[in-house]
Structure 1
Amino acid sequence: MTDDTSSSAAASPPRAVASLSDGEWHRLHPLTPLLRGGLVLVIVGGILIANLRERLVEVLVPWLSPDWSGPAPEDPIDYVLSHNLVAIALLVVIGVLALLVVVFSLSWRFHTFRITGEDVEVRSGVVFRTHRRAPLDRVQGVNLTRPFIARLVGLAKLEVVGAGNDGNVKLEYLATARAEEVRADILRLASGRRLAQKQAAAPETRTAAVSAGITGLIAGPEAPVDEPESVVHIPVGRLVASNALSGTTIVLLVAIAAIITGAVTTTGWLLFVILPTIIGFGAFWVRTVTRSLRYSIAPTPSGVRITYGLLTTVTEIIPPGRIHAVEVRQPLMWRPFGWWSIRINRMSGRSSSDGSNDQFGTVLPVGDRADVARVLGLVLPGIADAEGELIFDQGALGPTSDDPYTNTPRRARLLRPLSWQRNGYVLGEGALLLRRGRIWRSLAILPLARLQSIGISQGPLARSLRLANIRAHTVVGRVSGSLRALDRDGALDLFAKTEAAALVAAASDHSHRWAGDA
């Protein structure tokens, strides 16, 4: 039996399609229970260390062991030795290990998956069984994540991003080569094609998995065959500087400086209170930088491929038509350097309580104008080409002397004292563009084919000034579709025109199944 297939699949002759995408039930890699249950082992190890800390200090660093004036505290090992319970303790340890082996084995045997022409299905659970299904025609993307430990043994986990809340289906873990094959098959089926009639299953190689994983830590993430090179290369210095100049970093540093000053001038005990906060901020800042290292973005036949991460590498392919909103933004401190970032709204398939719900919300951490143009050409093909000047020169950098955007009227300058001359909108051929902010510039690009609805609202103050607010509704994300303090008549006109244009765009959009049967 191979690492990823059941005994029946291993005994069967080679199939015409990929061995894990043949519609039959398969098992995951045998190391899956160990990697998924690693947290339990860490907790058990922590309990043992906490109970044996004095003995460990005495053995490993005897010069740091405390000099007890009275009788030393008795640890569990002393208790076992003094009461002659060595045999019983060994039996308990052996029993616990045997129980873990049985539990892990049952968990692996009952955790199976299959890929058909319509769905990706996963069944798991020994006592309480679960059966999850992700329809291929609603796949929003496919993630391939390689945690640090999994990379050492050549494994990866695959996550099929569904269209509903908590609708993702996970395959963890598979050999990295197998995970790449399965991802390619899922995207091929989701595109509307069928698997090639002559696609021999590549044999899984278990030799040198650890050495290959260590080599990958040095050389970089896995390199797909015939994959185009990243269109954007972010220097490490720029990445570090952009994080240091972010608004969040500056606010937190000012707050920490104020607290430290207060602690020095009043009482030193305050430093011990804020020390965990400082450590937490430092860890967050370092994680923000390291998770953006090795960033790459490139076009593939199945969509846009985005990769990032230093220790844990994460790769996702976002198929065409799955991006619902795009925002080009520039913080104030980035303006002298001409740096920009790009964020998107897309269905993540995760629950709102998941901390990694928006891990791919940023598709360009920091880049110059040329980088922005390249990334927009990938995530908004066609729209970026047709509306290039509207997007950057007149949108992100605007307003210009011949501004095509309809801006907030002068009578609303009390509501928008700094940005009323910049806030504006324009309805392009394939997207609604919303320009906002003067200090923190941003431009929201909302593809008409992806709009779910558009609303118009008006409060008492806006009614007295003949103003209105527009909100274009997309999937929940970091990109806002709202623009406030607009002329009432202009907002009504935009509402009607956007509604008609969105209906036409949605009717002619065929990116849902972006390839015909082959």
Structure 2
Amino acid sequence: MTSLADGDWHRLHPASPLLRGGIFVFALLGFVIANLRERLVDLVFGIPRESGDPLDEIYERGAVGWALLAAAVILIVILVAFTLSWRMHTFRVSDESVEVRSGILFRSHRQARLDRIQGVNIVRPLVPRLFGTAKLEVSVAGQDANVQLAYLGSALADGLRRDILQLASGARQPRPAAGEPAPEHPAVDPALMPAGPPTAAQAARRHALNDYASARVGEFLAPELDPDAAPPESVVRIPLLRLIGSIVFSGFTVFVAIAIVALIVSVIVGGSEWLLIAIFPGLIASVGYYVSRFTKSLRYSIAGTSDGVRVGFGLLTTSNETLPPGRIHAIGVTQPLAWRPFGWWQISINKAGHSTNDGAAGQAATTVLPVGSLADVAKVLELILPGFAIDESRALIQRGLTSRGGDDGFVNAPRRAAWLRPFSWRRTGYAVSAGAVLLRRGVLSRELVLVPLARLQSVGISQGPVRRRLRLAGARLHTVAGPVSATLGVIDVGEAERLLETVTAGAVASADSDTSHHWSRQDIDLTPTRTAAALTGPTATEVTP
């Protein structure tokens, strides 16, 4: 454990208040510098200034002294407020939780229990990277329950994430006994201390400055994922051309194309200046949208580490999140119609915690693979479902993604379902394999949903008047809220009842034997207290997982 996970209260990086709320200071300095620059140019070239300039008014009224005094008071108040904010913002990491206390007038105390942690995300925005700092966000199950530490030293943030995940895994670090000295902090290099004659102090400062600059350059050039953190064969990356193609062949491009056609028609026909005014600014803004999506997806990688799945991306502002085992409740593999000629797919997940940061390509943080091939899909599924037998179910997954339906291992909707799903009834079906439920649907936009039985909340089947006449029913697997919807619109009513019984029994058995939430504990009894055979009696459908 590092010194930040010793159970004591610690403070954030001294530059944290400036990085969190000091943007208005930079804006004020920018205004002053720009104004002084204009005055210098006017003085050199003799250009007369327009009346009403604020600085001219202050000078003509003889209030220069008062203006300087007011600026000094404002600056002192800002510095005092920043200092108090930094001193009052503390955190600690214990064996049970991560706690943060903050506020000057109104105090706040947030607590994140380790057993409810859904992921740990480290974000390095561009400006904080210049200071060698990073923001650590602990994602916790619950609405608005996340805990942020903004900002920490970049290396300290990496070490603290490792400690939090180690504690959340069930491992415990022994604390020093009473009377036993606590671990000492690393000593400061004497060469960096200004000692001796002035020349030695200056040399030490230059040495420290060079080390600081080298460290910042190294952080910008270093790969997002440490090569020692994961084996190379587990890393999935997005080729540059595929990334560009996925952005170009997106739904937003269709909207831009329609806007361009409307703009051209308005210019040719004439008399529609209002349409030009309404559309042209949006087209300019779309260029920034494409650039933002492109830069946010560069250096994307996903890999399996000892503490879970690491997803990283970003060029200027980088982000990498670690998802511990057992925190993923549903997986959705989708293929838009425009991506089908290229064989590209996208993977999204449902998890109990919701990060406040965007994911790759500016999409939701629940998108773990923005675009990938079938081989990438298989590799990612193997990473995010470690208990799922990918080798045994690989053919079933591929049929669920690409098959047009029929006798292919899935329980499909009957032919009479064509009254309600005229195009997609052949691809609507389900299968249960290796501790997970697979739901297949969609013909224009293909989709395959995988729900681990150990994460399932409940199962529901419904039947309205039209479905009742057709002897059909709808089924829904309830998980935590997210972009993945585990539903089947039509299925035979008898198959829906069998789905309810099979999934309910399997979910209870899987939950009893699941130990993924404490993946480092060695003293866990892996023997389930109940077996699936005990749930096949008359009361099996009454068991709620």
Give yes or no for the alignment of 1:158 onto 2:161. no
Which range moves more in the overlay, 456-465 or 309-318? 456-465
The answer on whether the counterparts of 1:376 and 1:384 sit within 8 Å (CA) in structure 2 is no
How many Å apart are 1:412 and its aligned residue? 1.7
Q: Could you give the per-residue CA deviations for residues 157-178 of structure 1, whole angstroms, max 9, x where no partner exists?
A: 1111111111111111111111
1:144 is matched with 122
How many Å apart are 1:151 and its aligned residue? 1.0
1:491 is matched with 496
**Distance in 2 separating the partners of 1:273 and 1:141:** 42
Counterpart residue identity of residue 38, structure 1: G
Gaps in structure 2 of 5+ consecutive residues? 177-182, 190-207, 524-545
Alignment CA distance shift 1:61-1:489 (3 Å): farther
Secondary structure, aligned partner of 2:245: helix
The answer on whether the counterparts of 1:260 and 1:271 sit within 8 Å (CA) in structure 2 is no
**Distance in 1 separating the partners of 2:187 and 2:140:** 29
Alignment CA distance shift 1:182-1:247 (3 Å): same
1:329 is matched with 334
Give yes or no for the alignment of 1:370 onto 2:370. no
Which range moves more in the overlay, 436-445 or 270-279? 270-279
Q: Give TM-score, length-normalised by structure 2.
A: 0.84
How many Å apart are 1:58 and its aligned residue? 6.4
Gaps in structure 1 of 5+ consecutive residues? 1-16
**Distance in 2 separating the partners of 1:61 and 1:250:** 49
Counterpart residue identity of residue 219, structure 2: G
The answer on whether the counterparts of 2:405 and 2:426 sit within 8 Å (CA) in structure 1 is no
Give yes or no for the alignment of 1:253 onto 2:257. yes
2:24 is matched with 40
How many Å apart are 1:227 and its aligned residue? 4.1
Alignment CA distance shift 1:212-1:55 (3 Å): closer
How many Å apart are 1:327 and its aligned residue? 1.3
The answer on whether the counterparts of 2:266 and 2:276 sit within 8 Å (CA) in structure 1 is no
The answer on whether the counterparts of 1:165 and 1:350 sit within 8 Å (CA) in structure 2 is no
The answer on whether the counterparts of 2:389 and 2:434 sit within 8 Å (CA) in structure 1 is no
Alignment CA distance shift 1:41-1:276 (3 Å): farther
Q: Could you give the per-residue CA deviations for residues 118-175 of structure 1, whole angstroms, max 9, x where no partner exists?
A: 0100000011000000011111110011000111121111111111111111111111
How many Å apart are 1:180 and its aligned residue? 0.8
Secondary structure, aligned partner of 1:251: helix
Alignment CA distance shift 1:62-1:260 (3 Å): farther
Alignment CA distance shift 1:457-1:35 (3 Å): same
How many Å apart are 1:271 and its aligned residue? 1.9
Question: Which residue of the other structure, out of 433, 450, 454, is the alignment partner of 2:455?
Answer: 450
The answer on whether the counterparts of 2:396 and 2:409 sit within 8 Å (CA) in structure 1 is no
Alignment CA distance shift 1:85-1:364 (3 Å): same
Q: Point out the structure with max Rg over C-alpha.
A: 2
Q: Which has the higher helix share?
A: 2
2:219 is matched with 216
Question: Which residue of the other structure, out of 66, 72, 75, is the alignment partner of 1:88?
Answer: 66
Task: Name the % identity.
Answer: 46
1:118 is matched with 96
The answer on whether the counterparts of 1:306 and 1:317 sit within 8 Å (CA) in structure 2 is yes
Give yes or no for the alignment of 1:347 onto 2:331. no
Alignment CA distance shift 1:500-1:123 (3 Å): same
**Distance in 2 separating the partners of 1:392 and 1:114:** 44
Alignment CA distance shift 1:225-1:79 (3 Å): farther
Which range moves more in the overlay, 127-136 or 414-423? 414-423
How many Å apart are 1:63 and its aligned residue? 13
Alignment CA distance shift 1:261-1:42 (3 Å): farther
Counterpart residue identity of residue 507, structure 1: D
2:539 is matched with none
Alignment CA distance shift 1:228-1:209 (3 Å): farther
Q: How does 1:3-402 map to 2 (within 5 A)?
A: 17-42=1-26, 44=28, 48=31, 59=40, 72-195=50-173, 208-221=211-224, 223=226, 226-229=229-232, 231-266=235-270, 267-349=272-354, 359-385=364-390, 387-399=392-404, 402=407
The answer on whether the counterparts of 1:152 and 1:211 sit within 8 Å (CA) in structure 2 is no
Question: Which residue of the other structure, out of 494, 504, 509, is the alignment partner of 2:509?
Answer: 504
How many Å apart are 1:96 and its aligned residue? 0.8
Counterpart residue identity of residue 89, structure 1: A
How many Å apart are 1:27 and its aligned residue? 0.5
Q: Could you give the per-residue CA deviations for residues 57-110 of structure 1, whole angstroms, max 9, x where no partner exists?
A: 565699999x99xx9231110101111111111111111111110000000000
**Distance in 2 separating the partners of 1:128 and 1:507:** 44
**Distance in 1 separating the partners of 2:40 and 2:450:** 63
Q: Could you give the per-residue CA deviations for residues 382-440 of structure 1, whole angstroms, max 9, x where no partner exists?
A: 31425533543221112466411111221121321211111111122311111011111
Alignment CA distance shift 1:420-1:42 (3 Å): farther
1:5 is matched with none
Which range moves more in the overlay, 374-383 or 212-221? 212-221
Alignment CA distance shift 1:196-1:314 (3 Å): farther
**Distance in 1 separating the partners of 2:91 and 2:486:** 39
How many Å apart are 1:471 and its aligned residue? 0.9
How many Å apart are 1:460 and its aligned residue? 2.1
How many Å apart are 1:294 and its aligned residue? 0.6
Alignment CA distance shift 1:517-1:193 (3 Å): farther
Secondary structure, aligned partner of 1:140: strand
How many Å apart are 1:283 and its aligned residue? 2.0
Secondary structure, aligned partner of 2:57: helix
Query: How many residue pairs were aligned?
Result: 494
Which range moves more in the overlay, 401-410 or 442-451? 401-410
How many Å apart are 1:39 and its aligned residue? 3.2
1:11 is matched with none
1:417 is matched with 422
How many Å apart are 1:462 and its aligned residue? 1.5
The answer on whether the counterparts of 2:259 and 2:279 sit within 8 Å (CA) in structure 1 is no
Alignment CA distance shift 1:407-1:336 (3 Å): same
Counterpart residue identity of residue 335, structure 1: R
